[in-house]
Chains A and B, each alone.
Chain A
């Protein structure tokens, strides 16, 4: 394909006219958007600040000085959430991939494991995370097993990993099943074994396809690590709670919420962009 050079061309008078029209249309649309935004946000803001309880809410939820004071303890707690997210995320990835592969395999030797994997997914996907955290957090130490730590951070992470592995396994499995059988036929006809076909042909495409839902799960994971606070782990949520109950000022909750948002929003934006960049490189249709 040869690229033709676009030189020695000046727009026709009709084109110049059209550009003028387009500019006028877009200016008008800009004005409409600005007016609409001002009206809607202005109304919401007015409702908020004229509400009878606004003065009290402002003091108890948006106390900037108190927010500044509790900031170091909340951010220290957030560090626990981040550690839990990354260490947990890694374990979840490994376990979920194993579960997904087990559930899609046809190998007769793995039949019992396939049943176990299915049962595992059914149980941990069906039970509320908070119950699993309580059961693991209080149940495992009660067993008094030697060699198993009764550290609450460790047990909380285990509970989160158990539940999320089931979810992520299903996401990966749906990705594997979404790859058209013709891809498998092509790989097998080249003499690749079923294992090689999975590893080099099916899985890379499947994972790429499920990156957006996996990212959703990763953001959920970061938020749900806050639930381990019920075991007494001093994470961001717990740190905020301690400070809030000490003074009956709820600003620490707002501080914690803002800190979570500061991490999750850029994370989703970044991955959206990464996905788009890769789609564009592989497919001409992705550019549309």
Chain B
């Protein structure tokens, strides 16, 4: 199986603070890689670096074998192939749900407007949001907003989907409606890298779980191994704390 994403010794610091310390990772096609770790362990920064929202200090990033950490690369073209969903949804408040989703297909991919609307309505239908098409984001619940944000990034048929703690800003009751979309996508064969604190969910979707600690992957393996039989004492400590917080 070909690797969609390859990270080779990524290094990134913000001023004096080293956030990613020579981190390497391979993501094969149709797999989900779950990043776990405490806040500040570098999960979000890693996702932002993959999406070229942050530039790396050293190392290489390959998408489908092509180096995208090359400064001469067209970043807009790369981002077209990557979908990203944020913790805080980041929908465009001045646009309706439909306009939020169709903006990129029309302006970036140059799709015909009617075609884009039809495709979007089909996606909204599939995820039970068809009746919200003409609403503004502020009128939706957090769960609905996050589902729209996921659909917005799906509308470009991304090669790889990056999900950055997409349920952290949600009411516990709303978490599941968002996670069930991700489960659906996983069974469709979408390649994903996601940062999450939902360990139960991680167990369900992860092909590989990576435990991040001070900018590197301390332990990696199947969900079964890492989450239920961790070898590294730091992973054990982290999972114990998560467990005490009632998230396992």
Contacts and interface: CB of A to CB of B under 8 A. Distances in A.
Interface of A: 182-183, 185-193, 196, 200-201, 204-205, 208, 281-285
Contact of A189 (B51, B91, B92, B138): B51
B162 to A, nearest CB: 8
Contacts of A282: 93-94, 136, 138
Contacts of B243: none
Contacts of B136: 281-283
Q: Which 9 A-B pairs have the closest CB atoms?
A: A191-B80, A186-B90, A190-B104, A189-B84, A283-B138, A191-B108, A191-B79, A282-B136, A182-B90
Given A200-B103, A200-B107, A188 B53 contact: yes
B90 A183 contact: yes
B156 A191 contact: yes
B77 A191 contact: yes
Interface in B131-173: 136, 138-139, 152-153, 156
B93 A205 contact: yes
B111 to A, nearest CB: 12
Interface of B: 48, 51, 53, 75-77, 79-80, 82-84, 86, 88, 90-94, 103-104, 107-108, 136, 138-139, 152-153, 156
Given A191-B77, A191-B108, A201 B92 contact: yes
B99 to A, nearest CB: 9
Contact of B79 (A182, A188, A285): A188
Contacts of B107: 192, 196, 200
Contacts of B93: 205, 282-283
A200 B100 CA distance: 10
B119 to A, nearest CB: 15
Contact of B86 (A182, A281, A284): A182
A282 B91 CA distance: 13
9 contacts: A183-B90, A186-B92, A187-B92, A188-B76, A189-B79, A190-B153, A191-B77, A192-B108, A281-B136
A210 to B, nearest CB: 13
A83 B104 CA distance: 41
B108 A190 contact: yes
A200 to B, nearest CB: 6
B108 A189 contact: no
B92 A191 contact: no
A199 to B, nearest CB: 9
B161 to A, nearest CB: 11
Nearest to B107: A196
A285 B90 contact: no
A190 B90 contact: no
A191 B51 CA distance: 10
A193 B51 CA distance: 14
A190 B138 contact: no
A191 B86 contact: no
Given A189-B51, A192-B108, A283-B93, 15 more contacts: A183-B92, A185-B48, A185-B90, A186-B86, A186-B90, A186-B91, A187-B92, A188-B76, A189-B53, A189-B84, A191-B76, A196-B107, A200-B107, A201-B92, A283-B138
B86 A185 contact: yes
B171 to A, nearest CB: 15
Given A281-B136, A282-B138, A192 B76 contact: yes
A171 B76 CA distance: 30
A207 to B, nearest CB: 10
B103 A190 contact: yes
